Amino acid sequence: MRRALQLAKQGSGHTSPNPMVGAVVVHNGMIIGEGFHRCCGKAHAEVNAIDSVEDQSLLPESTIYVTLEPCSHYGKTPPCAKLLIEKGVKRIVVGTLDPFEKVSGRGVAMLRRAGAEVVVGVLEAECRDLNCRFFTAHTNGMPWVQLKWAQSADEFIANEDGTVRFSTALSLSLVHRERSFADAIVVGAGTVKIDNPSLNTRHWSGNSPLRVVLDRNLSIPNDCKLLTDGGRTLIYNGKKEGVEGCVEWAKLDTTQPESWLRDLYRRGITSVIVEGGANVLQQLIAADIWNEMRIEIAPVTLGGGIKAPQVNINGVAHQEVDGNTIITKLIDKNSLITTNC
């Protein structure tokens, strides 16, 4: 199972909204096949592991170790549980059950009805932690929420006109690494008007998230990058519905975080990174709807400007990057996960 976990991590940044999954096929104590879920929409870990076995006649006498319960439904690919039954695999060791409602115990039940021995719960904590975002989303009906901002040592995120920047080239690349893990990136209308951001993944190799703007009064400029660069953008507002090219407008109350987060989950989004502005971030903190914070503190003072969100960051993990301090804080009250993911 530890080898299966190692394999699963190779899909990091490419499988969402599907989970990372690894699988290992063992015959008489020897690994004869292994695989992992490489990309959303492509073959699952069990399929890749089974396909890698040179002598398929050994499968009925083999055990397959898989980090997550084999799926039992037809999605973008056929059910993995059905494949294992067809291949005659008689023993399946599962790290943890799948929280997704279309699976959630059905895969194990299908295998057992076919006469297979199924063991569940091997290295369960590690297997759940591997996909903490996936588990949180499907348990709570809302995406995993990561809050991110940079601030001065005296707790301002910008001067009054928003022109001061704190991130270095290296810390910026780490921010884009975080973006590659998220399904969506969320900002308020004020951030769009001040920064005209692209909100894509440029400084790291990986997927670009769906751009989401909270714009109650449809106030962002028509020529901003989020509306004109051809990337996917979703705008929650109080006035307009419709789709034009890659931009969608959805009429929804932007003052209630749970409302737009649940709508994102219904759209298949399992994790979001919220990058501003201060009002949007503070709104989520006040509502106690967040799972992780990433705060970058630069060793400079502004003496005034836009105040950073207020949160207790004492005693949390931090690292130094190019002279800046990056603080990471996780909580588990919105999640069943209790360890660092």
Active-site amino acid positions: 46
Rounded to whole angstroms, how far apart are CA atoms 56 and 307? 63
Rounded to whole angstroms, how far apart are CA atoms 117 and 145? 38
Count Cβ atoms within 10 A of the Cβ of residue 323 and give its class: 0-12 exposed, 13-18 middle, 19 or more buried: exposed
316 half-sphere exposure, CB direction, 13 A CA radius: 17
Element (H, E) at 288: none
Q: Which residue has the tokens 């190019």?
A: 322
Amino acid of residue 39: C
Identify the CA nearest to 321 among candidates 293, 290, 297: 297
Element (H, E) at 58: none
**How do strand 210-214 and strand 233-237 relate by DSSP bridges?**
parallel
Backbone angles phi, psi at 269, to 5 degrees: -85, 125
Rounded to whole angstroms, how far apart are CA atoms 119 and 116? 10
Query: Do residues 239 and 218 make contact, with C-beta atoms less than 8 angstroms apart?
Result: yes
Rounded to whole angstroms, how far apart are CA atoms 57 and 91? 15
Rounded to whole angstroms, how far apart are CA atoms 25 and 33? 5
Rounded to whole angstroms, how far apart are CA atoms 49 and 214? 43
Query: Do residues 38 and 20 make contact, with C-beta atoms less than 8 angstroms apart?
Result: no
